[in-house]
Amino acid sequence: MPFAPDPKEMLARARADLRMGVPVVMDGPAPALILATETLTPERLAFAQTLGPVDLALTGRRAATLKARAYDGDVARVALPNDATLGWVRGLADPADDLRKPMKGPLVTRRDGDASPHRLAVLLIKSAQLLPAALVLSLDDAGGFAQKHGLTRLQAASVAPLLQSLSPLSEVVAARLPIAVSEAGRLHVFRPEDGSEEHYAMEIGKPARNAPVLARLHSACFTGDLMGSLKCDCGPQLHAALAQMGDEGAGVLLYLNQEGRGIGLANKMRAYSLQDQGFDTVEANHRLGFEDDERDFRIGADILKKLGFSSVRLLTNNPAKIAIMEKHGIHVAERVPLQVGKTAHNEAYLSTKATKSGHLF
């Protein structure tokens, strides 16, 4: 059946559905219906409540902020009260008003039954760059339910490994791109097979493939790279890296579309709003239900290898990047520090990165 979508294509479809607010069916040993709380409507909430008991799946991080017991470690299952409104659900999922309304409970969390659909729901929703919180309700007949309501049906057994593994990606096109630092520029576009974000590689000059190349793994930062934000050091780092490659006449800058350390721009702005309430960059991510850093740097190693590189002089202050390159087949011959862009606004941010994320300054 060559026209039928394969599991990774079904996964891409499911992400798009969840972003629009359409529920998804997860088939497997514990079949379940999944709705993303961020895009939930009152009508869909009300209908879900007529179908049986509904759980709100939250990450262990978010549960810790809410002082709710997460019996399953990385995921908590809050039993939705019968009269739960959309406002109540959103209040648990979104920390925006935590300080104004600190008392959200008492929350009853479940410890019986199977948490695996909840865990998968949260992973799936994270991969759609939505707030990591889902409504989950069990289904008897997943196939029949999906067909009746015209919903995307995923198989837990195939989705779980896909969500953990790196989607294969391939180069779509490359073309000459003269830029300010070097007329000998070439931009390569890489596209993952699972319908997620494309990533770019800016090659400067003609770096030798059999020697360490001056390289930068830059994570997208719309606010810093394009708006000139003073809250981070991304824009100056991007331009300093390219300038050094221009000066040396050779280098490769990967522009990885992992905005906000992998949580997406909307969630990064939610984190900024929490930072204005006094939380630091790491605490803000945790309150939202994310880890400090949700990026997958294996993508960077993969692109470097596809371009024919095996050894780099890496422009970074982040030891985690070095460790992941080494683990995935890219030798880091040298770390080249990249310390630019300190402002009065990002002093606290940079010092949090040094103390909590191990950045070298």
Ligand X SMILES: Nc1nc2c(ncn2[C@@H]2O[C@H](COP(=O)(O)OP(=O)(O)OP(=O)(O)O)[C@@H](O)[C@H]2O)c(=O)[nH]1
Which residues are designated catalytic? 293, 295
Q: How far is CA 247 from the centre of its chain?
A: 34
The set of residues, in sequence order, having a beta carbon less than 8 Å from that of 285 and lying 6+ positions away, is 261, 263, 271, 291, 292
- Least distance (Å) between residue 239 CB and Zn ion: 13
Give the shortest CB-221-to-ligand X separation in angstroms: 3
Residue found under tokens 């998968």: 120
Q: How many CA atoms lie within 13 A of 119 on its CB side?
A: 18
Asked if 340 and 241 count as a contact pair (C-beta separation under 8 A), the reply is no
Rounded to whole angstroms, the Cα distance separating 189 from 303 reads: 10
Quick one: 218 or 287, whose CB is closer to Zn ion?
218
State the minimum distance, in angstroms, from the CB of residue 211 to ligand X.
Answer: 22
Helix (H) or strand (E) holding 175: strand 169-176
Which residue matches tokens 């402002």?
A: 343
The entry of ligand X, Zn ion, none that residue 219 binds, CB within 5 to 8 Å by partner kind: ligand X
- Please give the Cα distance from 228 to 238 (Å, whole number): 11
Shortest gap between Cβ of 268 and ligand X (angstroms)? 5
What's the closest the beta carbon of residue 177 comes to Zn ion, in angstroms?
23
Three-state SS for 202?
strand
Name the phi and psi angles at 228, rounded to 5: 75, 30
Q: Which residues bind Zn ion (CB under 5 A)?
A: 221, 224, 232, 234
Please report, as a single letter, which amino acid is at residue 97. D
Q: Which residues form the interface with ligand X (CB under 6 A)?
A: 219-221, 232, 234, 237, 258-261, 263, 268, 271, 281, 285, 316-318, 321, 338, 353, 359
Listed in sequence order, the residues at least 6 apart from 139 whose beta carbon sits closer than 8 Å to its beta carbon are 25, 31, 32, 33, 145
The burial of 234, by beta-carbon neighbours within 10 Å (0-12 exposed, 13-18 middle, 19 or more buried), is given as: buried
281 contact choice in ligand X, Zn ion, none (CB below 5 to 8 Å, kind-dependent) = ligand X
